[in-house]
Amino acid sequence: MPIATVNPANGETLKTYEAMDEQELERRLQLAQATFRTYRTTSFAERARLLNRAADLLDEDQDDIGRVMTTEMGKPVKQARAEAAKCAKAMRWYAEHAQELLADEEPAAADVKDSGGSRALVRYRPLGPVLAVMPWNFPLWQVVRFAAPALMAGNVGLLKHASNVPQTALYLEDLFHRAGFTEGCFQTLLVGSGAIDALLRDERVKAATLTGSEPAGRAVASTAGEMIKKTVLELGGSDPFVVMPSADVDRAAQVAVTARVQNNGQSCIAAKRFIVHTDVYDAFAERFVAGMAALKVGDPLAEDTEVGPLASEQGRADLEELVDDARRAGAAVLCGGERPDGPGWYYPPTVLAGVTREMRIHREEAFGPVATLYRAADVDEAVLIANDSPFGLSSNVWTRDEAEVDRFVRDLEAGGVFVNGMTASHPGFPFGGVKRSGYGRELSGHGIREFCNITTVWHGA
């Protein structure tokens, strides 16, 4: 895949870049290693000063980088600006909280005495250069939610971004440099996916994090496992959105539309499978389908656009295959389902009903504005349908019944359960999944500690 900006609204190639050669990669790896030796000794106060400066610059750049993201991957420009603001917020959150999150911990005095020691502590020390393999769908946020905690922990970052967002990738390196971070603290590596294996095998790279597809996660985890290096993986998702009879159906249907089509439907944590109790199924379906059909699809740079194009021609083709497979197998298309005429990789908001386990869309992730509707007779069936997926990233539950809430929290196989609201990420909450959605956590204290050497320090009596 070429390293290029291709506008998904019209298919026009705007900029192309040459991949870095081996000499340049070697220079950058040496720089990362050398920079880590000194950066790891900087104070939390100094790291926080630099990260807060990066947040200020990002706020200033919000309009410009928003247009770049929209031009590179097609998200509505209002959502792109919101993504930039969210990144600045996360930077400030880690600048404020990192020292507390990584403070030395003292084991229980009884345990220290029982060990024969006089005192002991647990210290969180940085690992070194961390490779981040990141996707195009949230081209700023996915990177910042790694970079902010990694830099505050004293690590340095090497970014291998998706090949269709090179301008955003280069902007990130420039942002941290303008903020005052030493050049080697955060570097963008303009390389294709074929270079990842060699980077993982390089002894100077101490760990890796990947957000992306299941095959990409398997490849990175396999090589990292062979090299005995820590990884965090955030892979696909096919999140359930469960609506029970006690729910506010009007509100649930309204939020369901946003939960499905945010980021043009290209979000791992977007709700994709809508599982509705039979008592409120018809009412919810009517409102949900009407909301999906009413969305304004168009130029992502227009302020009133709600759904823009998919990021790539292949992505649209993959989505069409899932819809066509379901239609051939008997699913009903309640709205959408047909590629529009004209330029760009657009696909309409689509709702499918009557989906069965034999259909590909039941078990594969639909990465675009396509929703599937399921009818559940009771809580047991709702849980069964929700868990009948290879993925387990997050989940949404709409009910006013506390016993039902407890049941869903206990039994849903997911890294998050959001009650009476849509899944969202926040720097204060851990983020990640189970099953084929990956392992490890990003954000919060759990995320910042993922790439730390958790060190026991013991003193004899």
Burial letters 151-162, b for 16+ CB under 10 A, else e: bbbbbbbbbbbb
Contact (Cβ atoms closer than 8 angstroms) between residue 54 and residue 176:
yes
The Cα 197–Cα 205 span in angstroms is 11
Q: Is 234 a catalytic residue?
A: yes
CA 452 to chain CA mean position, Å: 21
Contact (Cβ atoms closer than 8 angstroms) between residue 308 and residue 299:
yes
Which residue in the list 83, 173, 234, 404 is annotated as catalytic? 234
Contact (Cβ atoms closer than 8 angstroms) between residue 98 and residue 153:
yes
The residues, any chain, with a CB within 8 Å of residue 103's CB and separated by 6 or more, are none
The Cα 153–Cα 94 span in angstroms is 10
Give the H/E segment covering residue 83.
Answer: helix 77-101
Which residue in the list 87, 185, 268, 335 is annotated as catalytic? 268
**Strand segments (E) across 97-138:** 117-126, 129-133
- Which residues, in sequence order, are bridge partners of residue 119? 459
User: Which of 130, 271, 296, 154 is closest to 208 using CA atoms?
Assistant: 130
Distances (CA, A) of 102 to 206, 282, 423, 428, 439: 19, 50, 27, 14, 21
Contact (Cβ atoms closer than 8 angstroms) between residue 443 and residue 101:
no
Contact (Cβ atoms closer than 8 angstroms) between residue 139 and residue 162:
yes
The Cα 159–Cα 162 span in angstroms is 10
Based on its alpha-carbon atoms, the radius of gyration of the chain, rounded to whole angstroms, reads 23
Contact (Cβ atoms closer than 8 angstroms) between residue 179 and residue 54:
yes
Q: Is 185 a catalytic residue?
A: no
Q: How many CA atoms lie within 13 A of 278 on its CB side?
A: 6
Which residues are catalytically annotated? 234, 268
